Amino acid sequence: MAEGLYDGGALPVGARGRDSVGWWGMLCLIATESCLFAYLLFGYFYVALQRGPAWSPEPHPSILLSGPNTAILLASSMAAWWGEGGARRGRRGRHLAGLGVAIGLGALFLLVQVFEWRAKPFGPSAGSYASLYFTTTGFHMAHVVAGLAMLIVVFIWSALGYFTPRRYEPVSISIVYWHFVDAVWLAVFTTFYVSPYLMA
């Protein structure tokens, strides 16, 4: 109906899943935050190349904690995705269980991260590597906290019965943010834990 008056049938009132403007808004937020991390990682590689191989106090960072922790975060994303399917199908148990497991695994990731921070022999002001390490992983942890807060609020709203198979866009919107937080971790992990082996 490009030129005339509207003669189609009934239109959905308000958002339907990924048609909601909120979903599109979240994609904008994800785009800008992805750039934030891209600039942070640019800072890492730029300083690394400028200062040369002796720059890092840990040329071979251990993946003993961060490796399994990566798997935990990915599993959390999977659980959220599974829970979203429950919301779409109106299966309340699966909806809540998926969100609940995602929140639990996300919190576990955070705990392991704090543990790893405390185990580092240097603090954030020890040098530019240390500043970059703590700032980048700190930024990521802040995003994990924000994502968890969203998931928890949505979990409570879900438990209170605010969502139906027709209207559940806050569930999808918070979960896509959670996927983004996980995807960014893969970039951070590759930069700090994998690239030193490739550059050495």
Partner 1 sequence: MSAWEDARTPRTVRVASDFPGPRLQEIWERRPGLVGWLGDVDHKEIGKRYVLTAFAFLLLGGVEALMMRLQLGGPNLRVLTPEQYDQLFTMHGVSMIFLYAAPILSGFSNYLWPLLLGSRDMAFPRLNALSYWIYLAAGIFIYAGFAVGRGPDDGWFNYVPYASRTFNPGLNMDVYALGLILLGISTTVGSANFVVTFLRTRAPGMSINRVPILTWGTLTASVANLLAVPSVSLAFFLLWLDRQFGMHFFDAAQGQPLLWQHLFWMFGHPWVYAIVLPAMGMVSDGLPTFCRRPLVGYTPVALSTVATMALGFGVWVHHMFATGLPDISLSFFSGASLIITIPSAVAVFAWTATIWLGRPVITTAFLFFASMIVLFVVGGVSGVMTASAPVDWQLTDTYFVVAHLHYVLIGINVFPVLGGAYYWFPKVTGRLLSERLGRWNFWTMFAGFNLGFFPMHLLGLAGMPRRIYTYPAGMGWDTTNLVVSAGSALFAAGVLLFLINVAVSLRRGAPAGDNPWDAPTLEWATASPPPPYNFAVIPSVASRHPLWEDRLGEGQARSRLTEGLLLDHGRETIGTSALDAEPNLILEMPTDSLAPALLAAGLAALFASALFKAWWLVGAAGAVCVAALVLWFWPSRRHAGMPETADG
Q: Which stretch binds partner 1 (CB under 8 A): 5-13, 61-69, 74-82, 101-109?
A: 5-13
46 sits near partner 1 (criterion: CB under 8 A): yes
**CA distances (Å), 60 to each of 63, 67, 193, 197, in order?**
9, 14, 8, 7
Nearer to partner 1, 16 or 60 (CB): 16
Q: How far is the CB of 7 from partner 1 (least distance, A)?
A: 8
Any residues with CB less than 8 A from the CB of 197 and at least 6 apart, and which? 60
Nearer to partner 1, 57 or 61 (CB): 57
Q: How far is the CB of 101 from partner 1 (least distance, A)?
A: 22
17 sits near partner 1 (criterion: CB under 8 A): no
Q: How far separated are the first and last CA of the chain, in Å rounded?
A: 61
d(CA 34, CA 36): 5
Find, among 49, 43, 155, 46, the residue nearest to 95 by Cα.
155
Residues numbered 71-130 forming contacts with partner 1, rule: CB under 8 A: 124-125, 127-128, 130
SS3 (DSSP) at 163? coil
From the CA atom positions of the chain, what is the Rg in Å?
A: 21
Residues numbered 138-197 forming contacts with partner 1, rule: CB under 8 A: 149, 153, 157, 161-164, 166-167, 170
Nearer to partner 1, 63 or 110 (CB): 110
Q: Considering only residues 100, 131, 183, 195, which one is a binding residue for partner 1 as defined by CB under 8 A?
A: 131
d(CA 174, CA 6): 34
Nearer to partner 1, 21 or 111 (CB): 21
d(CA 39, CA 161): 41
At 175, list the tokens.
């979960």
Q: Which residues here bind partner 1, judged by CB under 8 A?
A: 1-6, 8-16, 19, 21, 24-25, 28-29, 31-33, 35-36, 39-40, 42-43, 46-47, 50-51, 124-125, 127-128, 130-132, 135, 149, 153, 157, 161-164, 166-167, 170
